[in-house]
Amino acid sequence: MTRIKIDGVDKAYRQMNGTNLRVLNNVDFETEENDFLCILGPSGCGKSTLLNIIAQLEEPSSGSVSIGSEASPTDVCFVFQEPRLLDWRTVRENIEFALDGKDIPKDEWDERIETYLELVGLDDFANEYPRSLSGGMQQRVSIARAMAVEPDVILMDEPFSSVDEITARNLRSDLVDIWKEQKRTIVFVTHDAIEATFLANRVLVMSHRPSNVLVHEKIDIDRP
């Protein structure tokens, strides 16, 4: 039952030379319940800025964003482009820290940790520290950590860019399966149109314009 609503969002960054860089211009859209939305566009067009505003990690210059309803608070997890694990905690402890933060009952922890580490192919690495894993493996842990919370909304910013292509392919399929099974809202930033069309049921296309105006379209993809 989670909708994301973006209402007339503008974003401008103050640049070194004192001028403003307009990145988002009057962005207006609303997701349907349980959309898998891909935000697609070329590098530098403002995808991360828009995702960060949805995550409330950044303030829009004007306009507003809402997720879910005030009546029922919405759990949101963010998967960044880089892993952002806690280096002094093991893989298991990293996931436990997230579960604890979201008040997931302790008797569910083991099963969730097992399920989602297996999903990303790292069930044998629960007791390792992040620095003993490759960059791609660390990123898979950060994906498992977000999944284990089973949040209403998962926001992902090019999460597979450091993951090798074969693993990424498997993870994309798993992500679609999880989305279908568990009915959650996923917002996924990518510059890769093939990735977007594989994953999403709705794609928001952003493009550069001379005036930095954002063009956005919704394309509903019919998927069985």
Q: Which residues bind ligand ADP (CB under 6 A)?
A: 13, 21, 23, 41, 43-49, 121-122, 134-137, 162-164, 167
CB of 133 to ligand ADP, least distance (A): 7
Nearest residue (CB) to ligand ADP, 164 versus 220? 164
Q: What angle do CA 100, 65, 159 make, to 5 degrees?
A: 55
CA gap 29, 208 in Å, rounded: 18
Please state, in angstroms and as integers, the Cα–Cα distance from residue 41 to each residue in 57, 86, 109, following that order. 21, 31, 37
CB of 23 to ligand ADP, least distance (A): 4
Give the number of other CB atoms < 10 A from CB of residue 170.
13
CB of 110 to ligand ADP, least distance (A): 19
Nearest residue (CB) to ligand ADP, 49 versus 201? 49
Closest CA to 63 of 179, 194, 214, 182: 214
CB of 178 to ligand ADP, least distance (A): 19
Nearest residue (CB) to ligand ADP, 100 versus 217? 217
CB of 47 to ligand ADP, least distance (A): 3
Q: Could you write out the DSSP letters of every residue in 7-32?
A: EEEEEEEE-TTS-EEEEEEEEEEEPP
Nearest residue (CB) to ligand ADP, 104 versus 172? 172
Nearest residue (CB) to ligand ADP, 23 versus 148? 23
Nearest residue (CB) to ligand ADP, 102 versus 209? 209
- Could you give the dihedral angle defined by the CA atoms of residues 4, 76, 137 and 113, in that order, rounded to the nearest 10 degrees? -130
Number of H helices, E strands in the chain: 6, 9
CA gap 167, 79 in Å, rounded: 17
CB-nearest residue to ligand ADP: 136
Closest CA to 84 of 15, 29, 143, 38: 143
CB of 21 to ligand ADP, least distance (A): 6
